Amino acid sequence: MPASTAPAAAPAGPLSLEKAIDRTLLFNLGLTVTRLEALRSLDAVEVSESVFEPTFAWTNRINGSRTAANLLAGSPATRWHDSDVELSQKFSWGGALSVGTGLTRLWTESGNNATASATNLAPTSPTRSHSSPAAGARLTSAR
């Protein structure tokens, strides 16, 4: 005989007002949907706030090539390595802040070496016009 999935029968006898209210709230489908919608809206808030989480970016590039003319001329091969790191944060008031640094190294087969480093601090504000060429420009930069 299969198990019954029907709810248990209510006990015979008087039902107090408190128990009647509890049973009504328990089996009220509209109220359950409202509770779930409230919880779902909290998830939407968390997803919306994720836009304001910090972002980390790293780029690493290595380059170097020799043309046939350079080989025939006996020119030394030149290579370079460039690495940049940046941390950026958007804010709920509309602004953003980026902080970054980078290092470039250039070397040749003949033993010549050169290095250069750069740092940047780039705050932006929602009051800056995006039509302006300076909008979003880095305010502090050094090489």
Give residue-wise pLDDT tens across range 21-54. 888 888 888 888 888 888 888 887 777 778 888 9
pTM, 2 dp: 0.48
pLDDT at position 55:
92
Residue 123 reports pLDDT greater than 80:
yes
Residue 78 reports pLDDT greater than 80:
yes
Instruction: Round the average pLDDT of the chain to a whole number and report it.
Output: 78
pLDDT at position 79:
87
CA distances, 43 to each of 29, 39, 40, 49 (Å): 21, 7, 5, 10
**Tokens encoding 13:** 């006898």
pLDDT at position 1:
45
